[in-house]
Amino acid sequence: MRQTIFWIVLGLVAEKILQHGLTALLFVININGIGKPDIGNRIPLSDPVMAVLNCIVMGFFILGFWDIRKLRIRGLHLVIILSLFDIIAEFVFHGFGFITISVIVAILLIGFAFTLRSTDLKAS
């Protein structure tokens, strides 16, 4: 069971890495038919600023992925904090109650990371 949760957490973290990487790319490159990401209109930030912010978040998710892969508990703590930040940022940019796939993945990631964390603490 622990091994399954471990791989689910890594898969969800990989999705967050891909999401923030593609979002950063779409803020920089205009692809016909896709357009730039919708960040709402509550906080006006330029596209380059949004690209840099997404790259920073992606970098921290990569660090969390690496730590989890190396079985370091701090990686779980990092992705839990980043997922909470991701949920709050979505609500700040879109308004409370605006549920996106990003929010759903972040909620799942928090739940599975806490489950993995508790199984690791019981095992040690």
Model pTM? 0.89
pLDDT level of residue 15 (50, 70, 90 thresholds) = very high
DSSP string, 44-91: ---HHHHHHHHHHHHHHHHHHHHHHHTT-HHHHHHHHHHHHHHHHHHH
User: Would 78 be classed as within a structural domain?
Assistant: yes
Compute the 3-state secondary structure of the chain and give helix, strand, coil in percent, each to the nearest 5: 75, 0, 25
Distance between CA atoms of residues 59 and 80, nearest Å: 15
Tokens (6 digits) for 98: 């605006």
Domain tally for the chain? 1
In the predicted model, is pLDDT for residue 18 greater than 90?
Answer: yes
User: Would 49 be classed as within a structural domain?
Assistant: yes
User: Would 37 be classed as within a structural domain?
Assistant: no
User: What integer pLDDT is reported at residue 40 of this predicted model?
Assistant: 64
pLDDT digits (tens, 9 = 90+) for 25-83: 998 988 888 877 777 667 788 889 999 999 999 999 999 999 999 989 999 999 999 99
Distance between CA atoms of residues 76 and 94, nearest Å: 27
Could you tell me the residue range of the domain that residue 13 belongs to?
Answer: 2-32+44-123
User: Would 72 be classed as within a structural domain?
Assistant: yes
In the predicted model, is pLDDT for residue 21 greater than 60?
Answer: yes
